[in-house]
Amino acid sequence: MSISASEKLNEFYSNFTDKDYVLILINADPDAIASAMAVKRLLWGRVNSVTISSINIIKRPDNLAMIRLLGVNLVHVNLIDEKKYSRFVIVDSQPNHNAAFSKFKFDTIIDHHPETNYETEYKDIRPKYGATASILTEYLRAAKIKPSYKLATALYYAIKADTSDFERKAVVEDVRAFQFLFRHANINIARKIEQAELNLGFLKYFKHALDNMKKRKGKIFVHAGQVVNPDICVLLADFFMKISHIKWSIVSGIYNDIFVVIIRNDGLRKNAGNVAEEAFSHLGSAGGHKSMARAEFPVAALKDHLDLANNEMVQKWIIAQIEKKTGKK
């Protein structure tokens, strides 16, 4: 028997008291930022205080533009004293997705990624949804809260970004949330955020990728080497999916001794999440959706059998791992 939006909201509220100091942890991207903003608004006047903290250092231009234009107040996790907080919330992610979440015991999880079976007091995980922002929009509507233009713009842009303008996985609930938010959002601000996707410093990675990419059976492989931000791998993977006849885009890079692999595909009888998990979960965290996935693991896991300074060798290793799992798909 399905639970109504109002019942779900009441269950969510029952986990908090007016004495609580709440910390919302995110791996900051548009969906995570917007969802955290929504939780903060939902808890306004119901708890003592709410702080939003990111585990990542934000360098991607569209994320920075979103934070600046919408006045989002984020505190990096390294500056957080967890002893000051009584309740811990994670949105658009789950504790097992990143080691940085491991020192916190989460009371509340709201996410749209596949379930990882983390035990907590309250969870709302809906893998069929295209964005966590859509779930939080339902909460706001159930609470009869009219979102400010800043909150509406954040949620609107998050759905737009995570569904790639509804070209990726989405359900009718994402469309309904998007339509509701459209009436309250500032579309000009959303457009400014979207247009801030690149900066000049990122272009050298595009040149490297174009010069060194390998194409195999409708797949493009790129190993970017050392990157200043793992979001560069995301930008490259999305970029190569725009090329005609490309069915898979696999981009890897190394950031702060963490090996990152981003996988994209056209979504036609393919499952990027399964491929990522089967190829890389033995090394660290890996998973995702049918058309998009991510793996992250320490470079130390590869040092014994791979020369990480040799980009060509690393690229061949990535190709071998993916080809074993995808074949001619």
| Stretch(es) of the chain classified as CATH 3.10.310.30 | 203-326
- For 5-195, CATH number out of 3.30.465.10, 3.60.21.10, 3.40.50.720, 3.90.1640.10 equals 3.90.1640.10
Q: Residue 304 — pLDDT band, cuts 50, 70, 90?
A: confident
The counts of H helices and E strands in the chain are: 11, 12
Give Rg (Cα) of the chain: 20
pLDDT of residue 309: 87
User: Higher confidence at residue 77 or residue 290?
Assistant: 77
Q: Average of pLDDT values for 113-123? A: 93
Q: Average of pLDDT values for 67-91? A: 96
For every residue of 75-98, DSSP letters joined together read: EEGGG--GGG-SEEEEESS-GGG-
- pLDDT of 272 over the 50 cut: yes
Q: Average of pLDDT values for 201-207? A: 90
Q: Do residues 132 and 24 touch, judged by C-beta distance below 8 A? A: no
The pTM is what?
0.76
**d(C-alpha 240, C-alpha 250), whole Å:** 9
State which fold the 203-326 domain adopts.
Diaminopimelate Epimerase; Chain A, domain 1 (3.10.310)
Q: Do residues 92 and 65 touch, judged by C-beta distance below 8 A? A: no
Q: Residue 229 — pLDDT band, cuts 50, 70, 90?
A: confident
Q: What is the pLDDT of residues 92-112, one digit of tens each?
A: 999 988 889 988 999 999 999
**d(C-alpha 49, C-alpha 12), whole Å:** 17
- pLDDT of 327 over the 80 cut: no
**d(C-alpha 109, C-alpha 123), whole Å:** 5
